[in-house]
Structure formats: C-alpha cells, structure tokens
Amino acid sequence: MNKKQPIGAAIMLALSIIFILSSQTKNTKYKTLEIYDVFDTYSELTLLGKNTEKALTECNAYLHDADTRWSAKNPESEISALNSAAGVSEVALSDDTLDMLEKSVQYSVYTNGFFDITVGSLVNLWDISKAQIPSNESITTAIHKTGFNLLEINKENKTAMLSCTGAAVDLGAVAKGYATAELLNILKKNGISSALINLGGNTYALGNRSDGTPWKIGIQDPGDTSRTIGDLSVYDTSVITSGNYQRYFEKDGVRYHHIINPYTGNPSNSGLLSVTVINRDPFIADILSTACFVIGYKESLPLLRESDSKAIFVTEDNTVYYSADLQNNFDYDNSAYEYKSFK
C-alpha cells in the first residue's frame, strides 16, 4: 500500500493546475481563493471582475456550508443522518440536498446504474485508507444494499429515506459537480464573467481569460502525474476527470482504486486509466466521468452522444481517444501515448 500516493497525487494535480493558472492570470486583476478544508480536497477559485471579494466570500461560505451538511465524516451532517437512519426512518433534508439526490437518482437510471448514488455500502467496504481486500461474501452482502431504488425521496415533506438497513448514499461522484453549478449562480449574480473554478481537479472555465483567449486546462497523465497528456482550450464549460491514479492501494501487483462497479462490487476494470468529460453542465460532467470510467471507452459513446458531451479516454494500452469535435481545442504532446479521435 502506498498510503502517501493519493495525497501526493492530489497535490500534484493541484500543483499542475496552479501552474497553468498562475501562468494564465499573471499581471491581471484576477483574485484567487484557495480552500483546503472542503470536500476532502484542495480547491481554488480564480475570478475577474468588480465584485470579486464579495463573490469569493459568498462562494467560500456556500462551500463550507455544503460540506458541513454533506460530509459523511461529519456525524452531524444530513448525509450521515440519512445513512444512519437507513431501514428505520425518513430524515429531513435541505432543499439543495434533496434536489441533488433527486437528480442523482435520475442519472443513476440514465447510466443504467453504473453510476449509482447508493453505492455507499460498497465504497465503505472498499475503504481505500484501510488497504484491505474485502471477502467475496461481504461484497455480495454490500451489493444487496446498493440500488438507487432503495432511496425514496419525498419532495412534499422534504424528506428522504433509504429503505434497507446498511444502505448508504455516497456523494463522492456528485458533490463537487453540484456545488460547481451553485458557485456559477453566485458568480453570475455578482457579474463575474471570467473565472476558473477548480474543486479538487473538477474544473469549470467561465468565459474567456482577460485577454480574450480561452482558458487552458491541463489533462493529467495518469501514468506520470507530474505531466499532462495535453491541454484543452475551453470557455463556459466544465472539464472533469475520473481516474484510477488518485485514490487507490496496491496488493500483489494489483491496483484497487476508488471507483466501484456496482454490479460486480469491485473496483471497475474497464481498461481505462482515466476519462475526462467535457459538458457545459458540471453536475452532468461529474456524474458521467464516473459512469464512463466504470462503463469503458466503446460502451460509453452512446451516453456521451445523447448527453451532448465530449470526452478524452486514456486506456491501459496507452492510447488516448478524444472526441473528434475537440480537434481544434485539444493540444496534445505526450510521446508515451498514441492519439486517436472518435466520433
């Protein structure tokens, strides 16, 4: 087990993005806020405009409030309350939590359960920090406690309930995307027209940079996290990556990572090292990055087309497959990979 790896990788990711950022916002009036204690990751907001101080204060308050209500590590959070009352009673939830859960169930249906908001019992079983392979029996038990139909949402009463004891929702694949959409509302309300939001590597580029050119987002090389596989030039869109290189442990040469196939109960094994999804809606991009990582390259293509998303897949055989539509926006440069476009 390489316990330091996940933190190291997260810092590397953060560093690579900071590097790109600082080179993009030098000598301008951008204001940056760094946040270390939200969603278990490092975040950074970089804004340009008249009301940057006010907008950053509001964004900071929103992120801390959301984290307090959603963190599974906080026993007082709404999510902890929902999970501990599984099979027992319904729990009162705030409006945005209910909205996020309702939409998450809809997308669990949409992705045929490869993204499943109730994957918590399996995620907890595979607790990466423990670095232990669970028994087949315990995996089977946890699979039975997984299924989006176990989450009942009552919008009128503003409550939700998990109908099976031991079932648990897990917001790991959605909270950052959902929060990004809320941050965008705050930015727009404050008249901010140029910004880069980065919640733990989940990025959203608002508008162009101050010089009128698009933002450049480096896509990390899953095989060497100090490098990138290329840069994406984008505006008004989110760019969100799921990969097997951030949170994992290794045993007997096998990597056990943090994204679970809810059908097998094991870390997904679809031949991918990472997938980056590009969509104007950060919530959809966050969900699809996780879903496509589980589903695999070829089988994800209908989902991407239907949802009007673009993507970049990095496969175990060192090929980068990128949407042909990205041709003019994706500047690639890494000799460790073969690059192929797809339609």
Give residues in contact with ligand ADP (CB under 6 A). Answer: 115-116, 119, 123, 170, 172-173, 200, 202, 242, 246, 258-260, 262, 286, 289-290, 294
Residue number with CB closer to Mg ion (173 or 199):
173
Q: Are the C-beta atoms of residues 157 and 89 closer than 8 Å to each other?
A: no
Say how far apart CA 292 and CA 285 lie, in whole Å.
Answer: 10
Say how far apart CA 225 and CA 239 lie, in whole Å.
Answer: 17
DSSP per-residue string spanning 214-236: PEEEEEE-TT-TTSEEEEEEESS
Least Cβ distance, residue 241 to ligand ADP (angstroms): 7
> 242: left (phi > 0), else alpha (psi -120 to 50), else beta?
beta
Residue number with CB closer to ligand ADP (44 or 170):
170
Say how far apart CA 253 and CA 90 lie, in whole Å.
Answer: 43
In which order are the strands placed within the sheet that holds 228-234? 215-220, 228-234, 330-332
Binding of residue 286 to Mg ion (CB under 5 A): yes
Closest chain position to ligand ADP (CB): 172
Least Cβ distance, residue 59 to Mg ion (angstroms): 20
Say how far apart CA 70 and CA 10 lie, in whole Å.
Answer: 21
Least Cβ distance, residue 172 to Mg ion (angstroms): 8
Residue number with CB closer to ligand ADP (48 or 239):
239
Least Cβ distance, residue 169 to ligand ADP (angstroms): 9
Binding of residue 300 to Mg ion (CB under 5 A): no
Binding of residue 173 to Mg ion (CB under 5 A): yes
Size of the site for Mg ion (CB under 5 A): 4
CA angle 142, 147, 153 (to 5 degrees): 125
Least Cβ distance, residue 261 to ligand ADP (angstroms): 6
Residue number with CB closer to Mg ion (43 or 289):
289
Chain CA centroid to CA 154, Å: 26
Binding of residue 278 to Mg ion (CB under 5 A): no
Residue number with CB closer to Mg ion (35 or 173):
173
| Residue 258 binding target from Mg ion, ligand ADP, none, CB below 5 to 8 Å by type | ligand ADP
Q: Give me 158's structure tokens.
A: 């503003």
Least Cβ distance, residue 220 to Mg ion (angstroms): 15
Residue number with CB closer to ligand ADP (209 or 258):
258
Binding of residue 268 to Mg ion (CB under 5 A): no
Residue number with CB closer to Mg ion (290 or 315):
290
CA angle 23, 26, 30 (to 5 degrees): 115
| Residue 119 binding target from ligand ADP, Mg ion, none, CB below 5 to 8 Å by type | ligand ADP
| Interacting residue with Mg ion among 237, 270, 289, 323 (CB under 5 A) | 289
The per-residue b/e assignment along 24-49, b for 16 or more CB within 10 angstroms, e otherwise, is bbeeeebbbbebeebbebbbbbbbbb
| Residue 260 binding target from ligand ADP, Mg ion, none, CB below 5 to 8 Å by type | ligand ADP
Say how far apart CA 162 and CA 256 lie, in whole Å.
Answer: 28
What number of other Cβ atoms are within 10 A of residue 192's Cβ? 25
| Residue 246 binding target from Mg ion, ligand ADP, none, CB below 5 to 8 Å by type | ligand ADP
Say how far apart CA 330 and CA 232 lie, in whole Å.
Answer: 5
Report the interface residues with Mg ion, using CB under 5 A.
173, 286, 289-290
